[in-house]
Structure 1
């Protein structure tokens, strides 16, 4: 709404007399005053309306912590100088953790340093301190940098300030700094652990001394935990050899307490309903609240598939008017742990009879934030809020040794926690979650009854959502979301199988919805996460899509939307879908829909398949098909301003990107530098987008 600038005449005694000279005599003074009051209120509201859309520059004051302005006697003044901070608290080690999350992990490392060596370690967020003050860290102290790499070699949000400062810093301001560094990354991505390489190089250039080889954890094969343990072992050896720290056996110190409280009413207890920790502003902008969404429809995409289940599921948003999504967004699903695994863990802990009793949790120190809701029950805690089906890392196994109920159990736990080969052998032969490990080392109900519940809760990670690309268009189905999933079970040596937690949860819900015996639950705890994986604003702009398996999900949504708009008379640009799967009979997802859309002339769609396990002929992958169609693909990218999309594994995306880059380079005659500039520009202007994982 446009607001015009209106000038009001000044109010004076003369205008007052003229205004009220014609008021009938039967009006009393009270009537006049009442009219004036109403007029004043309306005028005020009108005036405020002029500025209703303007933000209040002092609004942030309402959200400031009042204690930040209080000065208690003896309180330590906050500082942004990390060297000064270490002196104030008497810390010998500072751990800079550059990750989108990782709070629990960095506190875990600082806590273990205290337990094993009796030394204070500060777990620090680099953004809380002036980057230049790192040079003030005493030479007798050690800095530990543990940093993640994201996207195109980007640092985490909380490392951005240090990252920018390192780019421009000169001289040798870090000549007294001694440090070690570990990178967290995934070798399936092009810029594997690029951040730790850049940070270490810059620190060295500024005069710092690195005391250990740079560690690089690789999550491509789920080895991050093992690589972290290797790094930690080298770090602890450094403490003993170079810093004179004396190591002793750690004694468990609880960070939280659990208290049974039967005075609580059921309505006061979290019993499995949606819950997630408080979000920061950035997270809140891109994620909706978690809701319990009713399943509206579901079906198997391949009824005759022998070894895999392909699930198409649709959930209804009608009960939540404020919950919306856009084509290309993700649905985050919060799974539930299987009841047999919950009962197995409770049985070993001797808590089956107390499973439904209310318990309250409380943090015992400032650094530990509760990762689960409280009050709750053990049944809900292990069923909904903690990842009890996750593989048990060696570090957790080591923490169980001191509570082993028998000498035999202690020997087994000690062996597999200290010997990586022994741990891997056991992991390959059985489904090694916490409940099964306890049962394996000391069978029998209540065998582990003396282990502190606080240790169990601290050791288990919080339940995390699993994200699925939405396979429906918000233009076509505004109040309904579709997802596509394949049930993923990992087969181990022998008969062992590790079931995919969320996909098997969806499979169970599907069977319940379709009327098979079992649970009657027909809702999913889920939330919408905004995505930048979007079609161009103009439907006339060409698009090229590359997918394998369930990676076709967002492209089904794209094509569903383009079909609807074509029927409304909108011009649809050239559209190509490269789709890879095993073969046409096993997992050619949405084949009938794709063929129907390809038959509509107005959609200008070509569906080009690549079968890796064909009934006859040689295996072909999507990058091979892209190369075969390189002439049209390159023409669309370089001359027709086409948008290029990839959705599937990071490894596939890397192979496809390589093929396209080579073909563009060849046709445009670019050297490596100019090719990278071209590709970077495509990504910057959103004409090259990837939605990939693993």
Structure 2
């Protein structure tokens, strides 16, 4: 802490001790974050001056599924407020047309999920800008940060839709929209600088550069914790066409903590065989040195641990096409043939592009520059710290399939299933998921709906409620393919059912009969009881694939409608559940 000692003369002894205590035990990244944050207080213009210059408050809106957009909105709000800018932050779910007409400086941070879908919380606001009479927003200014995944064809579609809609309504862009891939931190921080700079340029002190956000617990995608694998068990029965693993990781010495509903992000490595085959196809020297965000290293190491090579993204195709002589690829890129390229890339990987469109004389650095960083893979936590102190449990389906004449492997799932031995470390960090929390009232009833590995967080929920002795009733709907091979955690559910911790259990095994039955069908079959639970205040939780989430949502609307409401009233009923924190979804 030499820097603090050199500045001792600026602080009285008590403040010196407070500062030392504050900094003690912090990681380098946390110290850098704190430094940048405190710098903002020193270098910002006086609050009254900045507010006088801007003249209006900034309204920051977020639309989120996983909480990332909300966290960025909170960071921007904190920085703006530290500069003295009057700021309000609001979930798009509770923001309406009247407020849109009133507010003059609107900053939106919105994610996209599934096939270009906006978050549930953003749907109504977007509809108010695109359906029916459009509000007149002349005189308003806006900026948009769009979050997405470039491996999907409709990358950042929700942000793009808001951008077009607001401009069409007459609002003026403060600056061009920024679209962020899964490694969004750097672009997001730069965008925040630009937003505050655009509001204050020429009028007050410029915004102090944002440091990258660092989780409170000191670990992130850039600084993971090596959690030792304590054990793993294949939950799938003999003869199953699936392979689902239960994994237990040791958090000893990490200081990490989590709540039921939170996420473990795993930083995997690519399958070694795929890396070798890709290098052979490229005819590049394995030891060729390349520059990466982590520093200079051999190409083989970069491809193994730092670059995405199993998903084809639009930015990769654009960059690679510029190096290629392939007219068909260049034409598709130039014509923005998203649908055509999406069809071709489905089930293919980077190695297929390289094989189809080889580039003569390609350098190792040029190829590496085409790739995006290897993003962490996110898994719902399947345990409670109260039940298993010092551990975190995961439920992971190993992805293996054949397409276009090649065997394909899921990066993280087979990393965990095949390539990490018991006793070896798994690089992880914890991501809070504030949108998927247990009810604050332990006596409140829950309806939990999960399919496949989507049941994982409900294991953590029941472990937590059991450890706390919570009085609330719990109803689980679980679905998978076959009763005999795919009833994940069967013994635990049956024990909780026998002990009364699980009040009701309904299962749907889709392929055990001629007509496929899913969790949404079981919900409809129990419509009367489900509605009664809702009327008595139960909270609803849904976890699983996006398609399942949509089907379950429609079932809930149908259930309310079957109780005598119109379709509009039923949709309003479900919306009210969301607005009052009684309807939570974690879909992917």
Aligned 8 A contact 2:150 2:313 in 1: no
Q: CA deviation at 1:317?
A: 0.6
Aligned length: 471
The answer to whether residue 383 in structure 2 is matched with residue 472 in structure 1 is: yes
Q: State the 1:538 CA deviation.
A: 4.2
Aligned to 2:559: 663
Q: How does 1:140-159 map to 2 (within 5 A)?
A: none
Q: Which residue of 2 aligns with 1:9?
A: none
Q: Conserved in 2, the CA contact under 8 Å of 1:572 and 1:604?
A: no
Tell me the secondary structure at the aligned position of residue 475 of structure 1.
coil
Q: Which residue number corresponds to residue 353 of structure 2?
A: 437
**Matched residue, 2:197:** none
Instruction: Note if 1:597 corresponds to 2:496.
Output: yes
Equivalent residues of 2:311, 2:348 under 8 A apart: no
The structure whose Rg is larger is: 1
Q: Distance in 2 between matches of 1:498 and 1:336?
A: 15
The match for 1:461 among 372, 375, 378 is: 372
1:508 and 2:418 aligned: yes
SS in 2 for 1:292: strand
Conservation of the 8 A alpha-carbon contact between 1:471 and 1:554: yes
Q: Does 1:312 align with 2:246?
A: yes
Partner of 1:380: 301
Three-state SS of the structure 2 residue aligned to 1:388 is coil
> In 2, distance between residues paired with 1:563 and 1:606?
15
Q: What is the 5 A alignment of 1:592-631?
A: 592-600=491-499, 602-603=500-501, 605-614=503-512, 616=513, 618-631=515-528
Q: Note if 1:692 corresponds to 2:587.
A: yes
- Please tell me whether residue 390 in structure 1 is matched to residue 311 in structure 2: yes
In the aligned structure 2, how far is the partner of 1:582 from the partner of 1:487?
16
Q: Distance in 1 between matches of 2:40 and 2:441?
A: 46
Matching of residue 63 in structure 1 with residue 38 in structure 2: yes
Deviation per residue, 1:166-198 (Å, 9 max, x gap): 43159xx9xxxxxxxx99563496578665555
CA deviations 1:63-93 (Å, max 9, x no partner) are 21699579xxxxxx9x988xxxxxxxxxxxx
Unaligned runs of 5+ in 1: 1-43, 54-58, 71-76, 82-96, 101-124, 130-149, 174-181, 210-215, 235-276, 362-371, 514-520
In the alignment, the residues of structure 2 paired with residue 168 and residue 188 of structure 1 have an alpha-carbon distance, to the nearest angstrom, of: 24
Deviation, structure 1 residue 498? 3.8
2:540 maps to 1:644? yes
- Corresponding residue for 1:224? 154
Q: CA deviation at 1:609?
A: 0.6
Question: Partner of 1:562 in structure 2?
Answer: 465
| CA-CA distance at 1:555 after TM superposition | 0.9
User: What is residue 354 of structure 1 aligned with on the other side?
Assistant: 287
CA distance in 2, matches of 1:553, 1:621: 18
Tell me, what secondary structure is at the counterpart of 1:505?
A: helix
* Pairing 1:206-245 to 2, within 5 Å after superposition: 206-207=137-138, 222-225=152-155
The CA RMSD over aligned residues, in Å, is 4.9
Query: What is the CA-CA distance between 1:528 and the residue it aligns to?
Result: 0.9
Structure 2: runs of 5 or more not aligned: 1-12, 23-33, 55-60, 65-75, 81-89, 141-145, 165-209
2-side partners of 1:205 and 1:547: how far apart?
43
Larger RCO: 1 or 2 (CA < 8 Å, sep 6+) = 2
C-alpha distance in 1, partners of 2:271/2:571?
A: 47
Q: Which residue of 1 aligns with 2:432?
A: 530
Structure 1 residue 572 and structure 2 residue 471: aligned? yes
Distance 1:153 1:457 in 2: 41
8 Å CA contact retained: 1:286, 1:529: no
Alpha-carbon shift at residue 422 of structure 1 (Å): 6.7
Shift of 1:486: 0.9
Compared with structure 1, are the counterparts of its residues 632 and 391 closer, same or farther at alpha carbon in structure 2 (3 Å cutoff)? same
Q: Is the contact made by 1:217 and 1:224 (CA closer than 8 Å) also made in structure 2? A: no
Distance 1:427 1:295, change over 3 A: same
SS at match of 1:64: helix
Kept in 2, the 8 Å contact 1:153–1:195? The answer is: yes
Aligned to 1:544: 447
1:70-89 map, 5 Å: none
| Preserved contact between residue 598 and residue 605 of structure 1 (Cα < 8 Å) | yes
Change (3 A) 1:314 1:183: closer
Q: 1: CA distance between counterparts of 2:372 and 2:37?
A: 34
If the length of structure 1 is used for normalisation, what is the TM-score? 0.57
> Tell me, what secondary structure is at the counterpart of 1:354?
coil
